[in-house]
Structure 1
Amino acid sequence: MALRLGILDQSVVFPGLSTQEALQYTIKLAQLGERLGYERFWIAEHHGTPFSAGPSPEVLAAYLLAQTSTIRIGSGGVMLQHYSPYKVAENFNLLATLAPGRVDLGVGRAPGGMPLTTKALQVGGEQQPLEEKLAELDVFLHGPAGEEHPLAGLQANPLPAEAAEVYVLGTSVASAELAASLGYRYVYALSIHNNPEVAAAAFSAYRAQFQAVRGRQPEALLGIAVVVAPTEEEAVELAGEGVNVRITFEDGQTVNVTSLEQAELFIKQSGKAYTKEVKKSNVVHGTVSSVRRQLLELKETFNIDGFIASNLTADVEKRFRSFELLYEAASGIEDSSALEAQVKG
């Protein structure tokens, strides 16, 4: 399959489910993705919410690696602002040693939770800019710190034969430029921040500014929410009326959440002046043929290598069926000439 295709699962605790059941569905979805032929399966990091059972992607990733055999498993992503880069490197070096060639490390700059959970996660911690933390993470993923480093000679053991692949997750040109400067792969989350103009500018900046650090090659993925169903009517119904809320605080901090309830809680806990932008959720939806056309158009528009797809359908059978149909939709895309013909046809 020409398109790189992965799944992002948030271990959502839908009404009527226990947290244990939500996690079991995450495991089953990873196994389904492997059987179908998806390239990767990522899990999210969410703190302080009863609606997600996934606060620790590195722990869940270890279990998923043991329950699968070929699909890449990773974080989508680790919220590096809360943690020591050295400790994150230790965690993912261990995972990459246990499962060579199968570990991804997606890194995000969002808080991954409410202001109170951020305070709890950062108690006593030294706050470095994300740029510095990412650079330090790169050091410890690949070997001992050099002589110029304050911790010269320190190594995050075990050092794997093949390090985890690092992806920077973002919703801005700045995040794309950061990924490019460090030679990391990049994912723009259109499902969170539905702004095609910003996405296009981010991918353009990423391609233009990419530095081949350690010989790495650029890879650009688009994060999308997708619903594929047997009929257009069912796809429209399942896509629902969800919203994305972008909160901008007076100090310049921006936060994206997926419900008005989450937005109000975040604003209340922050205690800061803000502005709020509410948009309808951007969900790619339709039948196999119509979704294939939409994927082709997105690939052409943004010049990307593939997709990371999420789905928040509460009905687990329909959610799993959607990922089966999505793989079928993407499997028909083989080369650029076929792509162009299908888009224009």
Structure 2
Amino acid sequence: MGYRLSLLEKSPVDGQEGAAAALQRTLALAQSAERWGFHRFWLSEHHNNPQLAISSPEITIAWILAQTRRIRVGSGGVMLQHYSPFKVAENFNQLASLAPGRVDLGVGKAPGGLPLSTRELQQGIPGADFPARLQQLTNWLLSPAAANEPDSPIVTPVPPEPAERFLLGASVATARLAAESGWQFVFAAQLNGSEEEISSAIGTYHRLSHGRKALLAVPVVVADSKEQAEDLLGPRQQFRLTDAEGHHVSVGSLEQAEAWIRQSGGGPHDIEERPSLVLTGTTAQVHRQLATLQARYGIDEFVIDTPISNATARLASLTALASGYDVLSGATL
């Protein structure tokens, strides 16, 4: 049985080249993904990180939509805790009006950076918990005008076809929130590779979402051999920090964990190493692993993350992955 492939792009900066060159590569990759028959091309949001070139996925989405023809383009995702739900709805209604039927709105709970950048992003933003913000955003997207009140605000423009809505996360709680809010769910296995938690979250979503299927975001490295793919990947760790109030955040190294604690003012934090799920091997080996995950979790679409910073190696890995993918039927060859 076939499955769809989509891409998650962070626009990594290779060496000393600068963000402009990284973004040009991102555009070229989007155009290649369209030729390969990939379904979606998503752009991540990261702040205060000179190694990644996208802090505003909305701007980058518009640029890529203008230079592609068919592939869906979206955010993977907007970090909603930083922004007005009204403004996010306006942004994605604008994009969906520019390219009807091709825009995805992916929303994430993570901050997309360390506490100091979060502090700057949230200046003047009134506090609200994430489920409340998501509900506000849902209401604005589904009902552009407030409830028949005089002089009520209206989200404009109103697109002929709204953006598809996705909630990204790596927990059962986020899966439940997606189902209850009417959003599609994407389990981010690059943040949590626990088979038990993936199964539990996806199973919860399928049970509560009345027939909708989750997507699975998974890191992939393809090379001429599994050994070469492992060498390209290098050491990979994920950690979850939990503060005294029970708030969680995922980071990719102990150095990031220490920086997070320092920037958030210290205090007690638990640091837990999380399992990492990365598919490595030849084209055939990786597609067999994807087929196994499809059968195990009952999903039809993978969002591919490529955890390689070297530009040449990243492109070679994705080209090799695409060579085993039937661009017409969305099936493995």
TM-score by length of 2: 0.93
1:243 aligns with 2:237: yes
Instruction: Classify 1:36/1:298 alpha carbon distance in 2 versus 1 (closer, same or farther; 3 Å).
Output: same
Worse-superposed segment, 257-266 or 65-74: 257-266
Instruction: Give how far 1:11 is off.
Output: 1.3
- Structure 1 residues 296, 152: CA separation in 2 closer, same or farther (over 3 Å shift)? farther
Q: Deviations over 1:222-257 (max 9, x none)?
A: 111001112222112112112112111111111111
Contact 1:22–1:53 under 8 Å retained in 2: yes
- Per-residue deviation at 1:39? 0.4
Distance 2:150 2:184 in 1: 27
Aligned to 1:100: 100
Counterpart-to-counterpart distance in 2, 1:333 and 1:250: 51
Q: CA deviation at 1:284?
A: 0.4
Cα displacement string for residues 52-97 of structure 1 (whole angstroms, at most 9, x for unaligned residues): 1111110111111112111111000000011111000000000000
What is the DSSP-based 3-state SS (H/G/I as helix, E as strand, rest coil) of the residue aligned with 1:67?
A: coil
Aligned partners of 1:49, 1:327: CA distance in 2, in Å? 29
Of 278, 281, 296, which residue of structure 2 is paired with 1:286?
281
Residue 308 in 1 paired to residue 303 in 2? yes
Letter in 2 for 1:240: G
Distance change >3 Å, CA 279–CA 170, structure 1 → 2: closer
**1:160 deviation in Å?**
0.2
> Which aligned pairs between 1:107-118 and structure 2 lie closer than 5 A?
107-118=107-118
Per the alignment, residue 223 of structure 2 pairs with 229
Q: Secondary structure at the match of 1:276?
A: strand
Q: Does 1:58 align with 2:58?
A: yes
SS at match of 2:250: strand
* Structure 1 position 333, deviation (Å): 12
Instruction: Specify the alignment match of 1:161 in structure 2.
Output: 160
Q: Is the 8 A contact 1:143 1:159 kept in 2?
A: no
Any gaps of 5 or more consecutive residues in structure 2? none
Partner of 1:203: 202
1:299-319 Cα shifts (integer Å, max 9, x gaps): 111111211111122332221
- In structure 2, what is the equivalent of residue 73 of structure 1? 73
Say whether the 8 Å CA contact 2:187–2:215 is kept in structure 1. Answer: yes
Between the aligned partners of 1:90 and 1:219, the Cα distance in structure 2 is 27
- CA–CA distance in 2 between the matches of 1:272 and 1:167? 34
Deviates more, 1:322-331 or 1:299-308: 322-331
Moved more, 274-283 or 92-101: 274-283
Residue 249 of structure 2 corresponds to which residue in structure 1? 255
Q: Please tell me the residue identity of whatever aligns with 2:234.
A: G
Question: Separation in 1 of the partners of 2:164 and 2:119?
Answer: 29
Instruction: Please state whether the residue corresponding to 1:169 is helix, strand or coil.
Output: strand
Q: Using the alignment, how far apart are the partners of 1:243 and 1:207 within structure 2?
A: 29
Change (3 A) 1:91 1:151: farther
Amino acid paired to 1:165: E
CA distance in 2 between counterparts of 1:240 and 1:296 reads 24
Supply the AA of the counterpart residue of 1:318.
A
Q: Residue type of the partner of 2:230?
A: V
1:170 paired residue number:
169
Tell me the SS of whatever aligns to 1:204: helix
Work out whether 1:186 is the aligned partner of 2:181: no
- Where 2:324 maps in the other structure, the secondary structure is helix
Q: What is the CA–CA distance in structure 1 between the aligned matches of 2:7 and 2:243, rounded to whole Å?
A: 31
Rounded Cα–Cα distance in structure 1 between residues aligned with 2:79 and 2:213: 21
Q: Aligned partners of 1:41, 1:275: CA distance in 2, in Å?
A: 35
Question: Aligned pair in 2 of structure 1 residues 3, 173: CA closer, same or farther (>3 Å)?
Answer: same
In structure 2, distance between residues paired with 1:152 and 1:332 = 49
Distance 2:165 2:315 in 1: 27
- Aligned counterparts of 2:8 and 2:150: Cα–Cα separation in 1: 35
Q: Which residue of 1 aligns with 2:294?
A: 299
Q: Is the 1:145–1:151 contact (alpha carbons within 8 Å) kept by the matching residues of 2? A: no
TM-score (norm 1): 0.90
* TM-fit CA distance, 1:192: 1.1
Between the aligned residues of both structures, percent identity stands at 43
RMSD: 2.3
> Does the Cα contact within 8 Å between 1:43 and 1:74 map onto a contact in 2?
yes
Structure 1 counterpart SS, 2:77: strand
Unaligned stretches of 5+ residues in structure 1: 212-216
**Which amino acid in structure 2 is aligned with residue 116 of structure 1?**
L
Tell me how many residue pairs correspond in the alignment: 332
Cα separation, 2, equivalents of 1:332 and 1:88:
33
Distance 1:151 1:11 in 2: 45
On the 8 A contact 1:42/1:76 being kept in 2, the answer is yes
Q: Are the aligned partners of 2:237 and 2:276 in contact in 1 as well (CA < 8 Å)? A: yes
The Cα offsets for residues 144-181 of structure 1, whole Å up to 9 and x where unpaired, read as 34538x89843210000110001000010000000000
